[in-house]
Structure formats: structure tokens, C-alpha cells
């Protein structure tokens, strides 16, 4: 039964899966294979268009191309990403076209991460002081130069306007029956307005919205955000995720979003990876990218395991993530992470690259995004994940940059064109 329900486009699209299909290993109990089309969407896909594999069956051609191309090139390469890269660095701010990554390597990241926390409060700058207007400009430039854009959201609570880290109340207040549901929808409306501002010229002479890998409600398996465990039940979390997707896709009609799910590694036992990883999983119809936030195995201050054990766990986490993603026809990615302040000067080759290149599975991770380089003067502390000029790990980072499999902006093939 299930085999009969497999849509042929899935076969055609992913040559990498065909060997498995021939071997009879696929589609045994995988819900992605049997998920029904939402009513009325299949017929709207123009004949001859690329196969639709995304949460949004009406995703824009550029968004579909991005997913398909990322899925293809991950076999050979891994894209390097950096949060807030163009907005500030450890020793600079408000300088056009600068990035600590570029200062060290001469190249920009292949993935630019941004966060829209505080957009919902009507602020002009995000929770880390980045102007939303400038962010829109950087997103467009990053896209026009061929890089990938991803957005996370440290959302204040709609009922209290308290920061993401203020854990009370949890999610129930903002679900459809909750007292703050309309406030929550108003937050999503502001996000939709921001996204609609990401309009660029398309190759056919019209306009289109920059494709965005949207990563809401991250690290929900931890207890540090109000949408996390202890403040929100698993059922509530799933409802929250599905509502968010349904609202942005169907009510707001945004068709440039690719949805990434990203639990935190610290709350996953690598020996029980799938079971722990899938806590709060909203279903294959609601997720395009299986992400993992991993600071834990890369020298997190609270991790008491030996360096060797952490590296072993790092490899396991990446490998298990890839296996799970491939079963589900999703793209695996390390959506956030790194080593705060880079105290190992060989971090890039000894830890990150060694982990990524460890085996045939870990090599299939599509991208890695390291977190932001806080401005030392403005924030009064050291909190950075990419090296800056003169930092002890800069030479090692150049080695990471030069390694053939790591892709930075100038290495990228056209990601937004369907082949």
C-alpha cells in the first residue's frame, strides 16, 4: 500500500535515494512517502515544473531550487555559515561590506544567519542591536551574491512581552484557544510584513521574495525558552509549530519559506538519537530541514566529557542526524553552534572539520552555521564563534576555508536556479 502511494517525483528528484529504493530499503513505514497532498494544491503545480518536496507545495521556484540544489551538493560539500556576519564583528561595527569571516579569509560565508527577535515589539533594531532595515538590505545582498539566508526568532512572549528566556507563561496562552492568540497572530503578521520587504528582481523580469530557511522555535527540547520543555508540553509545541507554518503559508501566503526544525544536542542522548531528536517533531509535512544546534560537543563549558568523548559524540550526532534526514527525505544541517571564544586554536580542523569529514554519513551535512561575533566594546565581553584578524585560530580557519569540501560564498554554484 505504502509503496503504491509513493509519488514518482520523489524518485526522479533524488537520484541518491534511488539505489535505496531499488534495494527495497525505502518507504517502509515512512510517512513522507504516504503523506497526502493538501486539497487543491497538486493541480496548481504547473505541468513540467520541478517536483514539489517542500512543506509548502506552492513554494516559489527559487525556494524549490534552493532545497533541491542544497540536497544535491551536500553529497560533496558543506556550506559555511555565520550569524550576523555583515552587521558587526569583535572589533568593528557600522562598516559596509565588512565581516570577520571576510577579514580572515577574503571571502564571505555561504550562509548568512539573522535573528528577528524584537521585530514583534515594533522595535527598529533586533535584540542584539541590528537594524531591521539594514538586515533586509543585507539579506538581499547576500542572496544576490548567491549565499543562503536563514532566519531564527528569539520571540518575546506575546502575552507578557518578556524575552524568549523568561519562561512563564509557556505556549498554551498563544494557541488558538489561548488569551494571547490574537497577540501572537499580530507578531506573525509583523514577521510576514518583514518578509514581504525582501523583494528582489527575478530572472524573468518580475519580482520574487528571497528564499529564507526559517528556523522558528529552536532548541525546544531545552528548558531555557518559553516554548521549551517544562513550560510547554510536547503536544502544545507541535500545535504551535503547525499553527506557525499554516498561518505563514496559508493565511499570509508566503511561499519563499523553507522550514527548519532544530533541537539542541545537549538534550539528546546520542545512543537514543532518533527518539530524543524527534521530541516535539511536528511531522514530515511540516519540516523541510532537519537541523541540530550543537555547541555541546564542541567544548561547551557545562559539558564534563573528555575532549575525545565529545568528538566521538559530535560525530555520532552528525551521522545519526544524516541517517534520520535521509529516511525522511529531508536535508540535514548543523543549524547553529560552534565554540564560544574559540579557545582551541585548531578548532576548525581538529574539531569541526574532523567531525564533518569523519564518515560517509557526517560528510552529508549540508551546512554549518556558527553563532555571532559579539562586538567587544558594545557588549563588554568576549562572545564569538568565528575568528577575527589576529585571533589564534585564524590560520587554522584559513586551512578550513581552503579545504575543498568547505564552501564559502565565492565557491557556490548557482543555488537558486532549477537545473
Contacting positions for ligand BMA (CB under 6 A)? 115, 127-128, 154, 371-372, 383
Catalytic site positions? 219, 336
Instruction: Dump the DSSP string for 223-264.
Output: SSSTTSTTTS-HHHHHHHHHHHHHIIIIIS---SEEEEE--B
* Alpha-carbon separation of residue 260 from 55, 118, 188 (angstroms): 10, 21, 17
Provide DSSP, 336-363. EE--TT--STTIIIIIIIHHHTSSTTGG
Least distance (Å) from ligand BMA to the CB of residue 372?
6
> ∠84-88-92 over CA atoms, to 5°?
160
Q: Which is nearer to ligand BMA, 128 or 396 (CB)?
A: 128
Shortest approach of ligand BMA to residue 236 CB, angstroms?
Answer: 23
Q: Which residue has the cell 560539500?
A: 77
CB 127, min distance to ligand BMA, A: 5
Task: Tell me how crowded residue 24 is: count the other CB atoms within 10 A of its CB.
Answer: 9
Q: Residue 153 CB, nearest distance to ligand BMA (Å)?
A: 10
Asked whether 211 and 66 are in contact (CB, 8 A), the reply is yes
Cα 175 to Cα 244: distance, rounded to the nearest angstrom = 10
What's the Rg (C-alpha) of the chain? Answer: 20
Find the shortest distance in angstroms from Cβ 381 to ligand BMA. Answer: 9
* Burial of 302 (C-beta count, 10 Å sphere; 0-12/13-18/19+): exposed
Nearer to ligand BMA, 152 or 327 (CB): 152
Nearer CB in complex with ligand BMA: 202/341: 341
CB of 331: closest distance to ligand BMA in angstroms? 23
Please name which of 318, 350, 292, 260 lies closest in space to residue 55, comparing C-alpha atoms: 260
CA distance 331 to 273: 17
- Give whichever of 328 and 391 is closer to ligand BMA, judged by the CB atom: 391
Q: Please identify, using beta-carbon distances, which residue of 130 and 210 lies nearer to ligand BMA.
A: 130
- Kindly report the backbone phi and psi dihedral angles of residue 62, in degrees, each rounded to the nearest multiple of 5, phi listed first: -65, -40
Specify the 3-state DSSP secondary structure of 58: coil
Question: CB of 124: closest distance to ligand BMA in angstroms?
Answer: 17
Question: 3-state DSSP call for residue 92?
Answer: strand
**Residue with Cβ nearer ligand BMA (39 or 380):** 380
In the bound state with ligand BMA, the residue whose beta carbon lies nearer, of 330 and 372, is: 372
The region that residue 126 occupies, defined by phi over 0 for left and psi between -120 and 50 for alpha, beta otherwise, is beta
Residue 379 beta carbon to ligand BMA: minimum distance, rounded to whole angstroms: 7
Q: Give dist(CA 218, CA 334) in Å, integer.
A: 12
Determine the Cα–Cα distance for residues 376 and 379; give it in Å rounded to an integer: 5
Question: Measured over all CA atoms, what is the biggest interatomic distance in the chain, rounded to whole angstroms?
Answer: 62
Answer for the pair 291, 215: CB distance below 8 angstroms, yes or no. Answer: yes
> 52 phi and psi, to 5 degrees?
-95, 115
Nearer to ligand BMA, 84 or 236 (CB): 84
Amino acid at each position: 500500500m505504502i509503496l503504491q502511494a509513493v509519488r514518482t517525483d520523489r524518485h526522479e528528484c533524488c537520484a541518491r535515494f534511488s539505489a535505496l529504493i531499488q534495494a527495497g530499503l525505502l518507504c517502509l513505514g515512512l510517512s513522507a512517502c504516504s503523506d497526502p497532498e493538501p486539497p487543491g494544491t497538486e493541480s496548481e503545480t504547473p505541468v513540467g515544473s520541478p517536483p514539489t518536496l517542500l512543506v509548502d507545495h506552492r513554494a516559489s521556484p527559487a525556494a524549490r531550487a534552493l532545497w533541491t540544489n542544497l540536497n544535491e551538493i551536500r553529497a560533496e560539500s558543506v556550506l559555511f555559515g555565520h550569524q550576523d556576519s555583515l552587521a558587526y564583528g569583535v572589533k568593528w561595527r557600522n562598516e559596509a561590506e565588512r565581516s570577520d569571516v571576510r577579514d580572515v579569509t577574503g571571502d564571505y560565508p555561504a550562509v548568512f544567519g539573522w535573528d528577528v527577535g524584537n521585530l514583534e515589539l515594533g522595535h527598529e533594531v533586533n535584540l542584539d542591536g541590528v537594524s531591521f532595515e539594514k538586515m533586509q538590505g543585507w539579506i538581499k545582498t547576500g542572496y544576490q551574491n548567491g549565499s543562503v539566508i536563514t532566519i531564527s526568532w528569539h520571540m518575546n512572549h506575546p502575552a507578557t512581552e518578556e524575552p524568549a528566556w523568561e519562561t512563564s507563561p509557556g505556549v498554551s496562552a498563544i494557541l488558538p484557544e489561548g488569551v494571547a492568540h490574537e497577540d501572537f497572530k499580530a507578531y506573525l503578521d509583523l514577521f510576514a510584513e518583514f518578509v514581504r520587504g525582501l523583494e528582489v528582481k527575478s530572472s524573468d523580469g518580475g519580482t520574487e521574495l528571497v528564499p529564507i530557511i526559517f528556523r522558528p522555535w529552536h532548541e525546544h527540547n531545552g528548558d531555557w525558552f518559553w516554548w521549551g520543555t517544562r513550560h510547554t508540553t510536547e503536544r502544545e509545541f507541535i500545535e504551535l509549530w503547525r499553527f506557525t507554518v499554516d498561518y505563514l503559508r496559508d493565511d499570509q501566503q508566503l511561499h519563499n519559506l523553507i522550514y527548519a526544525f532544530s533541537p539542541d544536542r545537549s538534550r539528546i542522548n546520542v545512543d537514543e538519537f532518533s527518539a530524543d531528536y524527534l521530541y516535539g517533531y511536528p511531522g514530515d509535512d511540516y519540516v523541510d530541514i532537519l537541523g541540530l544546534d550543537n555547541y555541546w560537543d564542541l567544548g561547551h563549558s557545562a559539558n564534563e566529557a573528555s575532549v575525545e568523548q565529545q568528538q566521538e559524540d559530535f560525530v555520532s550526532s552528525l551521522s545519526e542526524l544524516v541517517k534520520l534526514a535521509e529516511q525522511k527525505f529531508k536535508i540535514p544541517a548543523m543549524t547553529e553552534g560552534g565554540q564560544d571564544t574559540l579557545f582551541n586554536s585548531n578548532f576548525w580542523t581538529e574539531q569541526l572539520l574532523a567531525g564533518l569529514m569523519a564518515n560517509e554519513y557526517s560528510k552529508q551535512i549540508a551546512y554549518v552555521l556558527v553563532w555571532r561575533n559579539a562586538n567587544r566594546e558594545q557588549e563588554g565581553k568576549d562572545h564569538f564563534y568565528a575568528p577575527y584578524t589576529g585571533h589564534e585560530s585564524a590560520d587554522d580557519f584559513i586551512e578550513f576555508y581552503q579545504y575543498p569540501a568547505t564552501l564559502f560564498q565565492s565557491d557556490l554554484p548557482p543555488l537558486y536556479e532549477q537545473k
